[in-house]
């Protein structure tokens, strides 16, 4: 994911998450359902379903700590020009520990995401499909990771609205 796209996504989601008139001014949000929303970008066309966590826990040496984190978001993205359909990604709002992985628990299944910088993804498109299938069946997704500073994080995302918004993103970006 390019730096401009990261900034665009973050700004778009912050506007979505904000209350009142600001949220109504977002022009690239095309749908919202419960805890999820769909955004669209152009040139090249892409669509993404996205949500923020309902709960976050940060620990260091077994103790809960207060830390400053950027945007914490879970995405499912479609980029038809690149033949990307249902790519799962996560940003924890901090740089992940180098070489570390992120564990994603959904509907009784556990998945491993590989990290680079502030983002993490499954290893293959087949893994993306397995995760999306689990997300459509589950009630929440719990992502556990380690920051470059050694903080353990646990982020819990609601999956209410995920199925509808993932399907909406897919429909909006189908060729």
Total tally of structural domains belonging to the chain: 1
- pLDDT above 70 for 19: no
Quote the CA–CA distance of 174 and 50 in Å, as a whole number.
Answer: 18
Q: Which helix (H) or strand (E) holds 93?
A: none
pLDDT at 43: 83
Mapping DSSP to helix (H, G, I), strand (E, B) and coil, where does residue 154 land?
Answer: strand
pLDDT digit string (tens) for 120-171? 999 999 999 999 999 999 999 999 999 999 999 999 999 999 999 999 999 9
pLDDT at 28: 86
Asked if 65 and 145 count as a contact pair (C-beta separation under 8 A), the reply is no
Q: Residue 52 is part of a domain; what is its CATH number?
A: 2.60.40.1880
Q: How confident is the model at residue 175 (pLDDT cuts 50, 70, 90)?
A: low
Summarize the confidence of residues 19-26 as an average pLDDT. Answer: 37
| Residue listed under structure tokens 């993103």 | 169
pLDDT at 24: 38
Tell me the whole-structure pTM to 2 decimals: 0.85
Domain membership of residue 22 as a residue range: 3-172
pLDDT at 18: 37
Q: How confident is the model at residue 5 (pLDDT cuts 50, 70, 90)?
A: very low
pLDDT at 162: 97
- Which has the higher per-residue pLDDT, 49 or 4? 49
């Amino acid at each position: 994911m390019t730096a401009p796209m990261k900034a665009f996504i973050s700004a778009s989601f912050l506007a979505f998450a904000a209350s009142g008139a600001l949220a109504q001014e977002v022009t690239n949000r095309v749908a919202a359902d419960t805890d999820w929303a769909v955004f669209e970008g152009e040139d090249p066309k892409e669509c993404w379903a996205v949500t923020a966590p309902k709960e976050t826990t940060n620990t260091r040496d077994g103790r809960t700590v207060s830390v400053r984190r950027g945007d914490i978001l879970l995405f499912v993205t479609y980029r038809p020009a690149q033949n990307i359909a249902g790519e799962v990604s996560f940003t924890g709002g901090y740089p992940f520990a180098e070489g570390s992985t992120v564990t994603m628990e959904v509907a009784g299944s556990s998945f491993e995401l590989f990290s680079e910088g502030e983002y993490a993804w499954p290893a293959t498109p087949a893994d993306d499909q397995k995760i999306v299938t689990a997300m459509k069946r589950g009630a929440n997704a719990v992502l556990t990771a380690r920051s470059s500073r050694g903080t353990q994080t646990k982020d819990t995302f609601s999956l209410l609205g995920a199925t509808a918004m993932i399907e909406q993103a897919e429909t909006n970006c189908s060729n």
